[in-house]
Chains A and B, each alone.
Chain A
Amino acid sequence: MENTGVSKYTISFGLSLALCSVLNALLVVTKEKSRSVTSALQRITGHQWVTHVIIVLVLFLFFGWLFAKSNQGQGMKLAVKRLTEIILAGIVAGGLIITGFYLVAD
């Protein structure tokens, strides 16, 4: 029998993946455009890229946990097809922002 549901963690961490892909790209643009942001990131761990990675990973875990806890602990309700589209949109947007920024704007 065909089943169409997925676990609440698939939805919550899938949404977090899409969101953090875009946030990762926006952080790239922000630090490239602002020396003070890069310096602040540098000061935290000694290397701006290490801090960048830690921020994105922590946000991924945080949003995944947050989305799973929403709706009285049942997690967010979303059709799997829609989740797939959101993940793809997040990955494509994040990828285009990063590759486009270094190609054109930087």
Chain B
Amino acid sequence: MNEIILMFHVLFGAGCVITAVWLFVDVLHAGAANRARIRRLSWAAAAFMWCAFLIGGYWYVVDYPADKAIILHGPWPFAHSYFMETKEHLVIMLLLLTSFLPVATANNLAVNREARRLVLWVLAGIALLGLMIEGDGAMIAMGVKVALLAGQH
């Protein structure tokens, strides 16, 4: 069950990044035709992020201590001491960015170049931070794997 919870965390996180990239393209071509879709997608990106955050937060508080102990006794202790430590705090910035997104896209992007630029920068930040955090997650999972493999030999 723990692994299923974790997969949903990754799924929603990936959903947020994919939505941000989709939105980036839509905002580049912002007009009357895609105005409603941009707003809906910005809410979707925020919802994906909140789901990923709440599921990941629950897993981090309830289930991660066991993984942490395994990682710290393995050959990659930095998977916790660097990658998890940065991930758990960078993700708060990502949560703020995605929560701000629907506010920023509520402006009329079709006729406001500076508002478009603002939203594009926010989306770029969401995509880059999201990918970085997905990478952190991969390093943490690898930290558990190498520790368990090392224990078998």
Q: Which residues of A contact B100 (CB under 8 A)?
A: 13-14, 17
Q: SS class of chain B's interface: helix, strand, loop or mixed?
A: helix
Q: Kindly state the separation between the CA atoms of A81 and B10 in the bound complex, as whole angstroms.
A: 34
Of A10, A13, A98, the contact of B86 (CB 8 Å cutoff)? A98
Q: How many residues of A contact B (CB 8 A)?
A: 40
B9 to chain A, nearest CB (A): 15
Cβ B114 vs Cβ A80 within 8 A: yes
Per-position binary interface string of chain A over residues 7-21, scored 1 when its CB falls under 8 Å from any chain B CB and 0 otherwise: 101100110010011
Q: How far is the CB of A15 from chain B (nearest CB, A)?
A: 10
A81 to chain B, nearest CB (A): 6
- Tell whether, in the assembled complex, residue B99 and residue A60 are in contact, meaning their CB atoms are under 8 Å apart: yes
Check A53–B90 contact: CB distance below 8 A: no
Report the bound CA distance from A53 to B125 in whole Å.
20
Cβ proximity bits B24-46 to A, threshold 8 Å, 1 near / 0 not: 00000000000000000000000
Chain B interface: which size bin?
20 to 34
Stretch of B13-21, B66-74, B105-113, B143-151 contacting A (4+ beta carbons < 8 Å): B105-113
Q: How far is the CA of A103 from the CA of B121 in the complex (A)?
A: 26
Q: Are A1 and B111 in contact (CB under 8 A)?
A: yes
| B11 lies within 8 A of chain A by Cβ | no
- Among A49, A60, A79, A98, point to the contact of B96 (Cβ < 8 A): A60
B57 touches A95 (CB 8 A): no
- Closest residue on chain B to residue A85 by CB atoms: B121
Whether, in the assembled complex, B55 has its beta carbon less than 8 Å from a beta carbon of chain A, the answer is: no
Check if A71 is an interface residue, CB within 8 A of chain B.
no
Supply 25 A–B pairs (Cβ within 8 Å), ascending by A: A1-B111, A3-B108, A6-B104, A6-B107, A6-B118, A9-B106, A10-B118, A13-B103, A17-B97, A24-B89, A24-B92, A49-B57, A49-B88, A52-B92, A56-B96, A57-B95, A60-B96, A80-B115, A80-B118, A84-B121, A88-B125, A95-B93, A95-B129, A99-B86, A106-B85
